[in-house]
Every structure is written in C-alpha cells, then in structure tokens.
Structure 1
Amino acid sequence: MRAYRQFATVYDRLMEDMPYSDWLRFARECWDRYGIPQTVVDLGCGTGSLAIPLARSGFQVFGIDLSADMLSIGRSKWDESPQQAIRSSAGAIRWLQQDMCSWELPEQVDAVISFCDCINYLTEEDYVEAAFRATYEGLKPGGVFLFDVHPPRTLQRYADEQPFVLDDRDIAYIWTSDLDSERVEIEHHLTIFVRESDEGPSHYNRFEEIHVQRAYQPKWIREALARAGFGRVESFADFRLAAPDDRSERLFFAAVK
C-alpha cells in the first residue's frame, strides 16, 4: 500500500497505452445495468486518467489515492484541461489523499470504481476486506462497486514472460519480476531511465521502483464481498459483460449494496 513517489512523474508516459477507454466503456455498460450514478468515487485514481473523463461527462467525481504526488499531477491535468470553456456544464472532481482501506466521505455516493488492478496492490487478505468494508459503508443503498483484478494465472504469465524492456528516445526501463507461488504474490523491479533534455548530449536520470501485487482466488473475493455486506455480486472478464473462464486475463466484479 505504498505511495508512488518519483514514479508519479513518469506514470502517464509509461501508462499511455493502457485501455482507459475500455474501462470507461465497461463502467458505463455496468451502470446501464445497475443504475446510472451521479456521484462516483475513483478509488486508487492515480493521475486521474479515468476520473477526469468521467467528470467531463458530467459526473461528480471523488478521486482518492494514497499518493500526494499522483493527486498533484491529476489536479494539474484537470486544472489545465482544454474543457475549461465548457466546465460549467461538466461535472467536478474533488481530489482526496486517503488510504483505500479506510477511505470515507461526509456523504455516501452512488458508485465506486477501482480499476487498473488496484485491489491486487493490497497484499494481505485483511487489507482487501478492509477496503471492501470501507467501500460498502461509503455507498448509498443500491450503489454499485466495480473493480478489476489480475487472477493468479496473469501473475504467473508475468513471471514466465519477464523481463520486459522499453527503449524509447525519452524514456526506457528494464522490468523484472519474482513470483512467490505459494502466496501468488509478485514483486516487480523497475529500473527507469528518463531523458533529461532534448538539447545537447543525451543525459538520463535513473531511478528504481519496486511494486508488489498479490492475486486472490475469485471464490475468496466473492466471499469477502459478501462478508462486507454486499448482497449481489456478479463477475465478468476482460472488459465484457461475459462470465470469466480459465483463459480470462483480467477479472471484473460488480457488487451491489
């Protein structure tokens, strides 16, 4: 549950190919199914790559993240948005530095999302259960919690396919992974090189990051959601409203209070 530090400054550059539009589409399809919200919490919002387009669409969004650096970048992106001219007809974002295991707002909200495998960063069962309880308490009756996770097979695939390398002109990285098969917990080691300037001799700043994720069995996740109080839980896979199977790379859950 560590906060990103220097990584925040290059996060958007490294994540630019992530399927943000697919997450947004999936959320809208689920909201068509469970009820269109007005207020939405983006739990583990990072730099706001989902929170900002949701607010532009008219939702009242609360972006919650543990990292002050991530939130600062998200706030700057929102403040500098070219949507300023139509801001009066758009929604709004309130940025909050909170732990996803104990987050709270003065009032309950209609929906909570937590995408981009945020739950996998909770590496103890107690942490996951705490996050589910906090989310249940933060939702209005009938509110829906949408989130995705990497299943065990995806972490195994990362371990099998590593190392990963990126070598662009302005940024590069070497990414290796170590898997603890018993805990189904993977430790990602990233050595990142960022070009300091396009002018003059090439000079790169180097820094290192370690990120740890743990995968949980789908049955345990459903049981943990039920223990938190959620009465209706459905699971899907790979950005579609279709049941998961043994080949699914990313699992989605919809839990209704």
Structure 2
Amino acid sequence: MTSPYDALAPYYDEVVRGRRDDAKVLRQVLKKYRCRPKTVLDLACGSGKLTKEFKNAKVTGIDLSPGMLTLAREQLPEATLLQADMRSLRLPGRFDAAWCMYDSMNHLANFRDWTRTMQTAHRHLNPGGVFVFDVNTVTKLEAMVADSPFMHHFKKGMLVTEVSKQKSRYLWQLNIFERQKDDLYRLQEAEIPETAYETERILEVMERTFEDVTILDPVRKRPSKHSLRLYFAGRRAKMK
C-alpha cells in the first residue's frame, strides 16, 4: 500500500516544524481533562516526533504510509507501530488518550470517514479516556486557495505548494525540489486531497460520541468564523 506521504517522508521533519508548540497545546488540552496518559494511541502518527514529546507514555502509532512509519521507528523505538487504516482500526487494547494531529482528519475523503475515525478513537479509549484532534478550517483552506502558491525553503531544497479547490475537496500539489550537485535539483511530486467541514457539523458528531466536548483555537481566545486551525477534544464516558 502506498501513500502520497511516502514521497514527502524524507523531507517531512524539515518542512513541518513547531512540534514542541503543538505538544504544548496538546498538553494544555489534556490538562483540562486532568488526563496524564500512561498509554497513547496516535492515529496517523507520521514521523512520531510529536508523540516523542510524551516521554512517559507507552505509545501505539498507526499510519498508512510505510515511509512515515520508517521515520517513526527511528523516533519511537519502543513504540508499537502499525501500518493500518484509522477508519476501521480494531486493536485488542484500550488507551488513556488518543489523538489525530496535523490535520490528518482533513485527509479523509468524506464526512462519513470523519465519523468512523471518531468512533475508532472512542472504541479504543479506556472509560474517561480523552480524544484530541486538530483540523484545518474551511476558512483556512479557502484562504490558501486564494493565496496559492506557497514556497518554503529548507536545508535540502525547496517546497512549492499549490492549493486548488475541486468541487468539495481541496487539492494540495506538493513539488519538492531537492538540491543535488552542480546547482541541479531533483523533483518529487505528491498530491494530497483534503476535506473540511463547518465547526457545527463536527461538533454535532463529537457530542453524540463523547462527553465534555471542547473546542480550542490555539491562536485566538475563542473559536470563531475567522479561526484557521481548531482543536476538538472529548472524553469517553466514565463507568458508573
């Protein structure tokens, strides 16, 4: 099974930055629920660098990309890492916390898949366990379409990202120019489709599935129609 992230994997950690800031926000959310997880399920774990910040937790990570799992094995040598689909995952154990970060929910093809992934998280949590995920909002993706393309220079070369809208999806065209000898570049290409939905629709499913649901805008004081990125969190009901 291949993934568009296989092409991006060798450059991923140089291009995607700010993991400690993201870990700080994630800890802030978990603290609100008084959750200090000893076991963590990382859905779409990517390179594993975010979850590496949670050093005291026993980690199980899943991802569809073999290339990203190779990176994760370097970052999380003690973790259980599996190539699996988070929409249909069924593991024998349960966890104190589960998360799905870096807009991985947006990568799902339709809202039914978003719902299935929320159900996956719920199914794998201990009673009282917490699920957290972040999303690119419709506002952000529409702005990216309007402002595209974007250029990002990194040590090995340059990433050019073009975002276009195709019906109800947003298509990210990633062009990675890797620097070679004699001022030559090697081109790697990947296409990553994203979907986005209104906050109210996401919240409705979260509140049907979890209790104590919250939404956090990591930049603004409170979520609004101007929010670019949102964190959603909820708790699996405790046993009575």
Q: Is the shorter-chain TM-score for this pair beyond 0.5, marking a shared fold?
A: yes
Q: Deviations over 1:177-228 (max 9, x none)?
A: 1124x52x2101122111235xxx233221211111111111111112234x
Q: Where in structure 2 are the equivalents of 1:49-68 lying within 5 Å?
A: 49-54=49-54, 57-68=55-66
Greater Cα shift, 155-164 or 25-34: 25-34
Are positions 1:192 and 2:173 aligned together?
A: no
Contact 2:170-2:193 within 8 A present in 1 as well: yes
Identity %, equivalent residues? 30
Using the TM superposition, give the Cα deviation of residue 19 of structure 1 relative to its aligned residue in structure 2, in angstroms: 2.1
Are positions 1:222 and 2:214 aligned together?
A: no
Alignment-derived partner of residue 31 in structure 1: 30
Unmatched 5+ stretches in structure 2: none
Contact 1:39-1:61 within 8 A present in 2 as well: yes
User: Structure 2 vs 1, CA of residues 167 and 50 (structure 1 numbering), >3 Å: closer, same or farther?
Assistant: closer
Alignment-derived partner of residue 22 in structure 1: 21
Contact 2:137-2:198 within 8 A present in 1 as well: yes
Using the TM superposition, give the Cα deviation of residue 106 of structure 1 relative to its aligned residue in structure 2, in angstroms: 1.6
Distance in 2 between the 1:53 and 1:165 partners? 28
Instruction: Work out the number of aligned pairs and report it.
Output: 234
Greater Cα shift, 66-75 or 5-14: 5-14
Using the TM superposition, give the Cα deviation of residue 2 of structure 1 relative to its aligned residue in structure 2, in angstroms: 6.7
Contact 1:194-1:204 within 8 A present in 2 as well: yes
Alignment-derived partner of residue 149 in structure 1: 135
Using the TM superposition, give the Cα deviation of residue 72 of structure 1 relative to its aligned residue in structure 2, in angstroms: 0.7
Q: With structure 1 as the length reference, what TM-score do the two structures score?
A: 0.84
Residue 5 of structure 1 aligns to a residue whose secondary structure is helix
Contact 1:151-1:251 within 8 A present in 2 as well: yes
Distance in 2 between the 1:78 and 1:140 partners? 23
Using the TM superposition, give the Cα deviation of residue 167 of structure 1 relative to its aligned residue in structure 2, in angstroms: 4.3
Q: Which amino acid aligns with 1:203?
A: L
Using the TM superposition, give the Cα deviation of residue 129 of structure 1 relative to its aligned residue in structure 2, in angstroms: 0.9
Q: Where in structure 2 are the equivalents of 1:1-257 lying within 5 Å?
A: 3=3, 4-15=5-16, 18-34=17-33, 35-54=35-54, 57-79=55-77, 92-167=78-153, 170-180=156-166, 183=168, 185-197=169-181, 201-227=182-208, 229-238=209-218, 242-257=221-236
Using the TM superposition, give the Cα deviation of residue 141 of structure 1 relative to its aligned residue in structure 2, in angstroms: 1.0
Residue 148 of structure 1 aligns to a residue whose secondary structure is strand
Using the TM superposition, give the Cα deviation of residue 29 of structure 1 relative to its aligned residue in structure 2, in angstroms: 1.6
